[in-house]
Structure 1
């Protein structure tokens, strides 16, 4: 996820296009208001007529969100909306249905939005509708955020017949929105759904900061706006430090055992983004303690660095070393009785690998599992890991050659310095379309989730210190 493409809307209108499946993971029930709706429908059933509710709440409290998603929490309830410029009488009749319906007046929350004559005319249409047979299953809701409009609606309603219109309930229902204790959870779910599974930490917002912003916010809408502002500010501050290079840190796990599941558990989204939260919780190494002293910086680092964790299978990397290895690497391989003849499948395997797919700008889909590596393949890879202990530069050079030959990158260097006061070298420095990608290769005979997390966090820490973020 690019910080520049961050999406955190504070108005429900910007979420309606998501669809119910994603919305259900964001929306939480506001139980007191759902209880109020239940009572209204029970009274409507007993009276065999519709009802009218004035819903008073501060702008940004979540009135639209609540009204649009009642059906998520109550069966056979549908929400329909009447647009600002609609013919009220016709729209009310069109909105009614066989099931219970919540009909919401849109764009009329304050007196400045609508004239007094329009309000009076609309109230007469509502009064007739809720008393009619076709309106007896409809709860008409007029959201307001100003007392002057609220008082006018109550006054007109009283003149039309208070109990017949409002029922025995108070004519004005106060909407407070979700409790503050739920603000951070709502923000986390919203950020995750809209930003490739990103967490608040990944935006540079620690748990303490998220709670502090909640205490300063009057409504959930105001809170989401504060979260967005903090995330944009954190991203901007970090990007100011990246004046020489937009660093991209991709870690490749090259292991003799199957770590695809471990990599998946430490990443999020189709582009295999490193999930700093999961990394921190997956290892107890000293680097975790150090990074937790800088929670905001650590989280945003993973995002700004475009940190990714990518698995390279042993069959692919063996084919690459045989086909693209230089003379010195092949001499070292032959000294260990390894095959160095070119593999005709090397280019295809590299292009179809997770790394190849990501370098082409495509997300990773469901992987097709091939046959498990045989004993000869495992033995050959074990010899590669032996070579990596003393000559990993030769192996990294072979991968760089392969990436250029297949057109996945334009050029490469091995052991390229970060160009900062602190000296750290990247295993492979790639250029693709003029933009650098730094590959760090984790060569291991066998590894697991904790070791991968420790390795990646170590790299993130090194890059962060070199750049001056930590």
Structure 2
């Protein structure tokens, strides 16, 4: 039974709320989050005043839904060393939660979550909470704590100020205005944030490669008043783009993986044209890696090509020559072995073919594993190189024999359930895939790039040509 094939492009992750980002890791957050300098300076001023007064304080943070208040507050530690953010969820009582907080060892922001509108915080609730906050910030436990109450409406902000001033007076707010206005990142930053968010959470994918051109992105900013709204519009566009292509597909959900097998072992060139641990084809890099005629043709509709690469789960995978030779010897049929014998090549069975298939890039991806850090193998000896030149010679005239050997090997080790060679796409545009592999999770079409030697430009040209043909087959490209 074949195993899972890992994430597909249906798994695109574009959250518009920070709550969904809390588990992605600080590395990804650093690449996504943009510091809001004005509000950071307000935070700095509060803590300077708190240290001088030897007591904590309250900040009312007024901003629209989706402006990025949660993102800003949760990531303060990325921009201010030693500052930690803690949260009191809406399900917890403010007084009880504050009473349980120990004295902090450094500056601390305590965020009152889920209380951003009047409907979530009644007058009585606000008054009781203010009494608890006033007591806490005057205690030893709260002396270095800035309590932040986010508010989405002016009505709530006004109520909070009124109750706070009656209970704690001006001292509860410290310096500055009682309400801090938070506008979040400016519109000029929206596209950059979206690019970094999509890239960080989707293995380096770009907006352009997912069908959102620069002009499309600019148009979306005009309809978005906040960064949260902009990210929601981006996600909607990506879903619509993907659905557009999927609606053009026939009954089969095409998946296009290109195998590069060449005597000069171009693993580095393959890596340079892909992104992430699942070897996704990077259309932007492909388009800039070659000046072949196919690029000029495809530039007429680059957005459609980007969407196509996404929905097709397009991958570029390196297969080393030792694996290719072992598979040909061990799984090749009588016809292939006859061709090999005519060239003086060995046709003795090679038991290592099984482990080489399973541990190579293709085997890892078919089994649902990530490639991780790609390791550079040892250089092949002269005998191995000479033997592979024989395979390349066979591939130039009868590549179907070699493709069949690979299919047989994949089936034998359980990475696929069955296969056929030269399988039609089944659309009005007549085109045949080198190897059609059937699996429980759905078929994968392998295109086999056999070469004595190759490089980045030739690989890019080959993959773009295949993408173009598949695009024509489903009616997306003309």
The answer to whether TM tops 0.5 is yes
| 1:276 partnered with 2:272 | no
Alignment partner for residue 455 of structure 2, among 437, 448, 454? 448
Query: Which residue does 1:288 correspond to in 2?
Result: 295
| 1:174 partnered with 2:181 | yes
| 1:257 partnered with 2:264 | yes
The alpha-carbon deviation at position 87 of structure 1 amounts to 3.4
User: Where in structure 1 are there 5+ consecutive unaligned residues?
Assistant: none
* Conserved 8 A contact 2:265-2:321: no
* CA offset digits 1:384-403 (Å, max 9, x no partner): 21222222222222222222
* Conserved 8 A contact 2:250-2:427: no
* CA offset digits 1:414-466 (Å, max 9, x no partner): 22221222222111112122722111111111112222112111111110111
| 1:421 partnered with 2:428 | yes
The alpha-carbon deviation at position 239 of structure 1 amounts to 0.8
Query: Which residue does 1:396 correspond to in 2?
Result: 403
| 1:345 partnered with 2:352 | yes
Q: 1:191 to 1:365 in 2, by over 3 A?
A: same
Query: Which residue does 1:184 correspond to in 2?
Result: 191
* Conserved 8 A contact 2:103-2:140: no
* Conserved 8 A contact 2:325-2:388: yes
The alpha-carbon deviation at position 11 of structure 1 amounts to 1.0
| 1:165 partnered with 2:172 | yes
* Conserved 8 A contact 1:247-1:305: yes
* 3-state DSSP of counterpart to 1:217: coil
Q: 1:32 to 1:295 in 2, by over 3 A?
A: farther
The alpha-carbon deviation at position 372 of structure 1 amounts to 1.8
- CA distance in structure 2 between the partners assigned to 1:266 and 1:350 by the alignment: 22
| 1:242 partnered with 2:252 | no
Alignment partner for residue 64 of structure 1, among 63, 70, 76? 70
The alpha-carbon deviation at position 262 of structure 1 amounts to 1.7
* 3-state DSSP of counterpart to 1:135: coil
Q: 1:405 to 1:88 in 2, by over 3 A?
A: closer
Query: Which residue does 1:45 correspond to in 2?
Result: 51
The alpha-carbon deviation at position 293 of structure 1 amounts to 2.4
Alignment partner for residue 163 of structure 2, among 156, 167, 191? 156
* Conserved 8 A contact 2:63-2:183: yes
* Conserved 8 A contact 1:95-1:103: no
Query: Which residue does 2:4 correspond to in 1?
Result: none
Query: Which residue does 2:40 correspond to in 1?
Result: 34
- CA distance in structure 2 between the partners assigned to 1:113 and 1:104 by the alignment: 15
The answer to which of 127-136 and 271-280 deviates more is 127-136
Alignment partner for residue 83 of structure 1, among 84, 89, 102? 89
Cα RMSD (Å): 1.9
* Conserved 8 A contact 1:3-1:232: no
* Conserved 8 A contact 2:83-2:109: yes
User: Where in structure 2 are there 5+ consecutive unaligned residues?
Assistant: 1-6
The alpha-carbon deviation at position 208 of structure 1 amounts to 2.4
The answer to which of 452-461 and 358-367 deviates more is 358-367
* 3-state DSSP of counterpart to 1:441: strand
* CA offset digits 1:51-93 (Å, max 9, x no partner): 2111100011000110111011101111111222433234224
The alpha-carbon deviation at position 134 of structure 1 amounts to 3.0
| 1:360 partnered with 2:367 | yes
* Conserved 8 A contact 1:256-1:446: yes
* 3-state DSSP of counterpart to 1:24: helix
* Conserved 8 A contact 1:283-1:454: yes
- CA distance in structure 1 between the partners assigned to 2:216 and 2:151 by the alignment: 32
* 3-state DSSP of counterpart to 2:443: strand
Give the structure, 1 or 2, with the largest relative contact order (CA under 8 Å, sep 6 or more).
2
| 1:225 partnered with 2:232 | yes
* CA offset digits 1:129-163 (Å, max 9, x no partner): 22334322111111101111111112223323543
* 3-state DSSP of counterpart to 2:48: helix
- CA distance in structure 2 between the partners assigned to 1:133 and 1:434 by the alignment: 59
Query: Which residue does 1:125 correspond to in 2?
Result: 132
Q: How many residues align?
A: 470
* Conserved 8 A contact 1:7-1:194: yes
- CA distance in structure 2 between the partners assigned to 1:206 and 1:370 by the alignment: 39
Query: Which residue does 2:3 correspond to in 1?
Result: none
